[in-house]
Amino acid sequence: MQFLKTFFAGLKNAGPVPPAALKSFLDLVLTLKQDLPITIPLLRDLAAGLPEKAGLLKRRIDRRYSRLCRVQEELGRLDFKKAAPGSSPEDYVFSRIDFSRYQAMEETVFEKLVPEGLDDFSEDFYRKNFSLSRTEIRAIIEKSYKKSEGVYKLQKENPEKIPLIFSVMRTLETSLESSPLFSVYEIQAELTQLLCFVSGGASREFKGMEQLYPLLVHSLDNKIIRHEDGMETKLFISPQGDLSGTFRPGDKPWTLVLVPAR
């Protein structure tokens, strides 16, 4: 507790330059045993430097890469010369979407999208696109699919919901409008758990805690992420201050902002 109090006081007075003391905080997180009654998956991943073993943060990055792979794959199949006369580019692209893939999905593909993939998008995103909450959409998906022999199959009991399900599943698989890779609120919640644990159950806050989030974001500068197919993604802080990632789906570079500077 004394270390944390001193650490956060140091952050409060450190100014804009990330203090070297961040390493000592992350080292402390690494010493905490996995079976302690606290849930701090993001802090553990950041402290370990995004290990190859897929923790929460690594899985989030992998899902962004998977979406880019799907988008790149679909773009590669488009041939606008084959569009019907008079049709718009948007109509042609829509006509080429294979919604049948969402009728039966391999376990490994489905479980990348549900349930964790639902948390890659904000509540506002779901309200804007589907006029439903994330919780409502989760319930619809979980009721609509049944797992059998390693395949999730769409049930036909509620045919009126199938267009919605197709639209949601496609969004989960291809949309690039995801929330920040990790948020200040998530870090704040994990810090609250950590401080509560080390103080024996008492709720504690220290001045300077708000400085930790940007330091954790900057700690990912120049990190390299290796995906299952062997391709690598490089994280970096852009000149504008965003945490960005250069992905290479199909060995073609795509850069996404993962945590906006604001």
- DSSP label of 180: P
Of all residues in the chain, what percent carry a pLDDT higher than 70?
A: 91
What would the mean pLDDT of 129-143 be, rounded to a whole number?
A: 95
Question: Which contiguous run of DSSP H or E holds residue 171?
Answer: helix 162-174
Does residue 17 surpass a pLDDT of 60?
no
Cβ(18)–Cβ(25) under 8 Å?
Answer: no
For position 34, what pLDDT does the model report?
84
Does residue 16 surpass a pLDDT of 60?
no
Domains in the chain: boundaries: 58-174
For position 92, what pLDDT does the model report?
65
Does residue 19 surpass a pLDDT of 80?
no
Which region among 76-85, 101-110, 161-170, 245-254 has the lowest average model confidence (pLDDT)? 76-85
- Cα separation, 119 vs 131, in Å, equals 17
pLDDT in tens, 168-226: 999 999 999 999 999 999 999 999 999 988 888 777 788 888 889 999 999 999 999 99
- Give the helix ranges, DSSP H, for the chain: 2-12, 22-31, 41-47, 56-77, 89-95, 107-113, 123-130, 134-144, 162-174, 184-198, 212-218
For position 79, what pLDDT does the model report?
66
What would the mean pLDDT of 107-114 be, rounded to a whole number?
A: 91
- Cα separation, 140 vs 165, in Å, equals 8
- DSSP label of 103: T
Q: What is the largest CA-CA distance in the chain?
A: 72
Hey, which bits of the chain come out as E strands? 104-106, 145-148, 151-154, 224-226, 232-237, 243-247, 254-259
Size of the chain, expressed as the number of residues it contains: 262
- Cα separation, 160 vs 230, in Å, equals 41
Cβ(244)–Cβ(257) under 8 Å?
Answer: yes
Does residue 151 surpass a pLDDT of 70?
yes
- DSSP label of 232: E
Q: Would you place residue 150 in the very low, low, confident or very high pLDDT band (cuts 50, 70, 90)?
A: very high
For position 53, what pLDDT does the model report?
73
